[in-house]
Structure 1
Amino acid sequence: MKAPQVRSPRKAKGQGGERREEILDAALTLFSAKGLQAVSTRQIAEAAGISQPGLYAYFATKDDLIAELCVRAFAKLSTRMEAGKAQWTPTPEMFDRAMMTYIDFGLSEPDAYRVAFMVEKSHDGSFLSRSGGRPMAAGLEAFQGFVAMIADLHDHGLTADDDALRLTQTLWAGLHGLVSLLIARPEFPWVEREALIAAHIAMLRRGALK
Structure 2
Amino acid sequence: MKAPQVRSPRKPKGQGGERREEILDAALRLFSDKGLQTVSTRQIAEAAGISQPALYAYFATKDDLIAELCVRAFAGLAARMEAGKADWSPTPEAFDKAMRVYIDFGLEQPDAYRVAFMIEKSHDGSFLARTGGRPMAAGVETFKAFAAMISDLHAHGLTAEDDPLRLTQTLWAGLHGLVSLLIARPEFPWVEREALIAGHIAMLRRGALTS
Class of the TM-score when normalised by the shorter of the 2 chains: over 0.9
- 8 Å Cα contact 1:81-1:146 kept in structure 2: yes
Displacement of 1:148 in angstroms is 0.5
1:1-210 equivalences in 2 (<5 Å) = 8-15=8-15, 17-210=17-210
Displacement of 1:15 in angstroms is 2.6
Q: Distance in 1 between matches of 2:7 and 2:173?
A: 41
SS at match of 1:173: helix
Q: Distance in 1 between matches of 2:7 and 2:147?
A: 46
SS at match of 1:86: helix
SS at match of 2:18: helix
* Partner amino acid, structure 1, of 2:174: G
- 8 Å Cα contact 2:6-2:47 kept in structure 1: no
In the TM superposition, structure 1's runs of 4+ consecutive aligned residues that sit over 3 Å from their partners are 5-9
Cα RMSD of the aligned pairs, angstroms, is 1.4
Q: Distance in 2 between matches of 1:85 and 1:51?
A: 43
- 8 Å Cα contact 1:85-1:145 kept in structure 2: no
* Partner amino acid, structure 2, of 1:81: M
**Identity of aligned pairs, percent?**
85
Q: Distance in 1 between matches of 2:33 and 2:207?
A: 35
Q: Distance in 2 between matches of 1:8 and 1:209?
A: 50
Displacement of 1:43 in angstroms is 0.9
SS at match of 2:50: coil
| CA deviation map 1:158-188 (0-9, x unaligned) | 1111000000000000000000011111111
Displacement of 1:16 in angstroms is 5.1
| CA deviation map 1:14-64 (0-9, x unaligned) | 135322121111100000101111111111111112221121111100011
* Partner amino acid, structure 2, of 1:120: E
Return closer, same or farther for 1:28/1:6 CA change in 2, 3 Å cut-off: closer
| CA deviation map 1:67-118 (0-9, x unaligned) | 1111111011111111111211111110000000000110111111111001
Q: Distance in 1 between matches of 2:161 and 2:67?
A: 34
Q: Structure 1, unaligned stretches of length 5 or more?
A: none
Q: Distance in 1 between matches of 2:144 and 2:15?
A: 36
